[in-house]
């Protein structure tokens, strides 16, 4: 009987770690329908819900990060780490993976550490232009490090780095053929320009505050707005659904159609969002969150801005939003150049390239 491929994929905490992991699993299943795939995540984090929804089994570790200030959680960290290493060892011994993939997040730390110690090949998938501490530590013993940005040899061993890009939802690859469908789905006016506002699945407080503050200005520009405020903020902002040309959504289940319908995009600059927006290729204003580790969203956005592919406004600069937006709205040449330049940075085959690297590490068929 032919041996089937066994893979553990570990990562989570945020959508930016979970959705790439699921995309990798889907590509593996597409190539190897008989493959056995197990996810390892952090208990009580969103992956424990999202991964089973995608059709995969998941085991949870009792693990969390270190807080920047002295807290009870920090005192528990050594105990959680020992507990997670013990459980990861148990999972790996039972599942016997051919390769272990880490997409970032605290759960990937113990899982890949145990795999490395047992001589099982490991792949680190780093989404950001500035890596988190977990991936920096894991990179020392990983076999391959799949990245989305240039110049990461500052953080990782150069000979292990493969520039693949970040996995994105496959439905985005067809977004340019869906404009009419998107306009119909969101019941938009074909004659008006559409602004799509996205702050991540949970929402972004400062972006929501900005749109509320600038709503009359935006309506004065004769645009229509698809505003994804996030489920945490929907109660606060849903009243603006009564305004003409404004739609407020807690979450957008059809991101492909939202992107297709949009003429301009205002977005956070998490790694997954940036990778998606490179493929979508619409004029974009990034508003990075400053409240993330190592300010990596600003670095992600800057990597695009430096190539003239987008505009960026820091949260400290939001009082200039109306000037920046109105200038962009009136400058079709600028819109075209931003679109062309950001598309140049797209890596649409990222998921396939990552699975190529995984495949190359499986010793029994190489």
Q: How many Å apart are CA 186 and CA 189, to the nearest integer?
A: 9
Q: Which of 232, 237, 165 is nearest to 200 (CA)?
A: 232
Q: How many Å apart are CA 164 and CA 173, to the nearest integer?
A: 16
Ligand-binding site membership of 14 (annotated)? yes
Q: How many Å apart are CA 49 and CA 231, to the nearest integer?
A: 16
Ligand-binding site membership of 220 (annotated)? no
Ligand-binding site membership of 209 (annotated)? no
3-state secondary structure 38-63: EEEEECCCCHHHHHHHCCCEEEEECC
For residue 347, the SS3 value is coil
For residue 167, the SS3 value is coil
Q: Say if residues 35 and 27 touch (Cβ distance below 8 Å).
A: no
For residue 76, the SS3 value is helix
Name the DSSP class of 319. Answer: G
Ligand-binding site membership of 4 (annotated)? no
User: Structure tokens of 12?
Assistant: 């989570």
- Find the angle CA(328)-CA(287)-CA(187) to the nearest 5 degrees: 65
Q: How many Å apart are CA 152 and CA 157, to the nearest integer?
A: 9
Q: Say if residues 324 and 303 touch (Cβ distance below 8 Å).
A: no
Instruction: Find tokens 């499986």 and name the residue.
Output: 362
Ligand-binding site membership of 268 (annotated)? no
Q: Say if residues 20 and 103 touch (Cβ distance below 8 Å).
A: yes
Ligand-binding site membership of 128 (annotated)? yes
Q: Say if residues 25 and 19 touch (Cβ distance below 8 Å).
A: no
Ligand-binding site membership of 12 (annotated)? no
Q: Say if residues 167 and 19 touch (Cβ distance below 8 Å).
A: yes
Q: How many Å apart are CA 350 and CA 24, to the nearest integer?
A: 9
Residues annotated in a binding site for UDP-N-acetyl-alpha-D-glucosamine: 14-16, 128, 169, 201, 297
Residues annotated in a binding site: 14-16, 128, 169, 201, 297
């Amino acid at each position: 009987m032919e041996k089937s491929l066994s893979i553990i994929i570990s990562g989570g905490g945020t959508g930016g770690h979970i959705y790439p992991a699921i995309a990798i699993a889907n590509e593996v299943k597409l190539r190897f329908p008989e493959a056995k795939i197990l996810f390892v995540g952090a208990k009580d984090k969103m992956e424990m819900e999202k991964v089973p929804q995608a059709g995969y089994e998941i085991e949870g570790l009792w693990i969390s990060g270190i807080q920047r200030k002295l807290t009870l959680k920090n005192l528990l960290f050594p105990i959680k780490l020992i507990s997670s290493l013990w459980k990861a060892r148990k999972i790996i011994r039972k599942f016997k993976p051919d390769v272990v993939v880490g997409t970032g997040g605290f759960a990937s730390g113990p899982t890949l550490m145990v795999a490395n110690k047992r001589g099982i090949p490991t792949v680190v998938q780093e989404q950001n232009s500035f890596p988190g501490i977990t991936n920096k530590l894991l990179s020392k013993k990983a076999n391959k490090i799949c990245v989305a940005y240039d110049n990461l040899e500052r953080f990782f061993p150069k000979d292990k780095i493969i520039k693949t890009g970040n996995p994105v939802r496959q439905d985005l690859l067809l977004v340019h053929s869906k404009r009419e469908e998107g306009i119909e789905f969101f019941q938009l006016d074909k004659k008006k320009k559409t602004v799509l506002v996205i702050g991540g699945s949970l929402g972004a407080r400062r972006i929501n505050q900005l749109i509320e503050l600038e709503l009359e200005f935006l309506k004065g520009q004769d645009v229509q707005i698809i505003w994804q405020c996030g489920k945490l903020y929907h109660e606060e902002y849903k009243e603006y659904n009564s305004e003409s040309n404004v739609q407020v959504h807690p979450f957008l289940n059809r991101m492909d159609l939202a992107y297709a319908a949009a003429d301009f995009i205002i977005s956070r600059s998490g790694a997954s969002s940036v990778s998606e927006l490179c493929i979508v290729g619409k004029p974009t204003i990034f508003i990075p969150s400053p409240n993330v580790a190592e300010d990596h969203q600003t670095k992600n956005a800057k990597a695009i801005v430096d190539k003239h592919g987008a505009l960026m406004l820091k949260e400290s600069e939001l009082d200039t939003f109306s000037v920046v937006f109105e200038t962009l709205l009136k400058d079709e040449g600028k819109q075209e150049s931003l679109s062309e330049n950001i598309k140049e940075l797209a890596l649409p085959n990222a998921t396939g390239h990552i699975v190529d690297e995984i495949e190359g590490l499986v010793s029994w068929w190489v």
